[in-house]
Chain A
Amino acid sequence: MRAWADVLQSLGARTLGVLRGLGRAAFFTAELLAAVPASLRRFGLVVRQVHAVGNLSLVIILASGTAVGFVLALQMYYALVTYGATESLGLIVNLSLVRELGPVVTALLFAGRAGTSLTAEIGLMKAGEQLAAMEMMAVDPKSRILAPRFLAGIVSMPLLAILFSAVGILGAYVVAVLLIGVDAGNFWSIMQARVDVWRDVGNGIVKSFVFGVICTVVALYQGHETEATPEGVAYATTRTVVISSLGVLAMDFVLTALMFSTP
Chain B
Amino acid sequence: MSKRNVEIMVGLFVLLGMAGLVFLALKAANLASFGARDGYTVTARFDNIGGLKPRSPVRSAGVTVGRVKTIALDAKTFEGVVTMELDSGVRFPRDSSAKILTAGLLGDQYIGIEPGASEQDLAAGGQIRQTQSAVVLENLIGQLVTGKAAEAADQAGEKK
Cβ-closest chain B residue relative to A44? B3
Could you say which of B6, B10, B23, B33 contacts A192, with CB atoms under 8 Å apart?
A: B33
**In the bound complex, CA of A70 to CA of B40 (Å):** 43
Whether A236 sits at the interface, judged by CB under 8 Å, is: no
Q: Are B29 and A200 in contact (CB under 8 A)?
A: yes
| B31 CB within 8 Å of chain A | yes
Chain A's nearest CB lies how many Å from the CB of B124?
Answer: 25
Q: A50-B10, A197-B31 are in contact. Are A165 and B20 (CB under 8 A)?
A: yes
Whether A165 touches B10, Cβ cut-off 8 Å, given contacts A192-B33, A195-B30, is no
Residues from 21 to 62 in B contacting A, C-beta threshold 8 Å: 21, 23-25, 27-34, 57
Residues of A contacting B: mostly: helix
Q: Are A47 and B21 in contact (CB under 8 A)?
A: no
- Count chain A residues whose beta carbon lies closer than 8 angstroms to a beta carbon of B: 31
- Which size bracket describes the interface of B in this complex? 20 to 34
B125 at interface by CB-CB < 8 Å: no
Which residues A91-105 have CB closer than 8 A to chain B?
Answer: 94, 98
A50 to B8, CA, bound (A): 11
Complex contacts, A160 vs chain B, CB 8 Å: 17
Instruction: Tell whether, in the assembled complex, residue A188 and residue B27 are in contact, meaning their CB atoms are under 8 Å apart.
Output: yes
Q: Which of A47, A162, A163, A191 contacts B7 (CB 8 A)?
A: A47
* Structural contact, A192 and B20, CB atoms closer than 8 A: no
Q: A156 to chain B: which residues have CB within 8 Å?
A: 13
Residues of B within 8 A of A50 (CB): 10, 13-14
Contact with A along B70-91 (1 / 0, CB 8 A): 0000000000000000000000
A232 to chain B: closest CB distance in Å? Answer: 30
Given contacts A162-B17, A162-B21, contact A51 B10 (CB under 8 A): yes
Q: Assess the A192–B24 pair: CB atoms within 8 A.
A: no
CA distance A228 to B143 in the complex (A): 80
Q: Are A195 and B28 in contact (CB under 8 A)?
A: yes
Contact with A55, one of B9, B29, B30 (Cβ below 8 angstroms): B9
Chain A nearest Cβ from B11, distance in angstroms? 9
The answer to whether A193 touches B24, judged by C-beta atoms less than 8 angstroms apart, is: no
Do A192 and B30 touch across chains, with their CB atoms under 8 A apart? yes
Is B144 close to A, CB under 8 A?
A: no
Contact mask for chain A residues 28-65; partner B; CB cutoff 8 A; 1 contact, 0 none: 00000000000000001001101100110010000000
User: Which one of A48, A51, A54, A98 contacts B24 once the chains associate, using CB atoms below 8 Å?
Assistant: A98
Q: Please tell me if B16 contacts chain A, counting CB pairs below 8 Å.
A: yes
Given the complex of chains A and B, what is the CA–CA distance between A261 and B9 in angstroms? Answer: 39
Give min CB distance, B17 to chain A, whole Å.
3
A34 to B96, CA, bound (A): 65
Question: Is A169 positioned at the interface, with any CB of B under 8 Å from its CB?
Answer: yes
A129 touches B (CB below 8 Å): no
> Is A74 part of the binding interface, using a Cβ–Cβ cutoff of 8 Å?
no
Determine which of A159, A194, A200 lies in contact with B14 in the assembled complex, contact meaning CB atoms within 8 Å.
Answer: A159
Within 8 A of B (CB), among A166-222: 166-167, 169, 188, 191-197, 200-201, 205
Chain A, 237-262, contact with B by CB distance < 8 Å: what is the 0/1 string?
A: 00000000000000000000000000
A200 to B24: give the CA distance in the assembly, Å.
Answer: 10
Interface on B for A, CB 8 Å cutoff?
3, 6-7, 9-10, 12-14, 16-17, 20-21, 23-25, 27-34, 57
Q: Which residues of A contact B (CB under 8 A)?
A: 44, 47-48, 50-51, 54-55, 58, 94, 98, 156, 158-160, 162-163, 165-167, 169, 188, 191-197, 200-201, 205
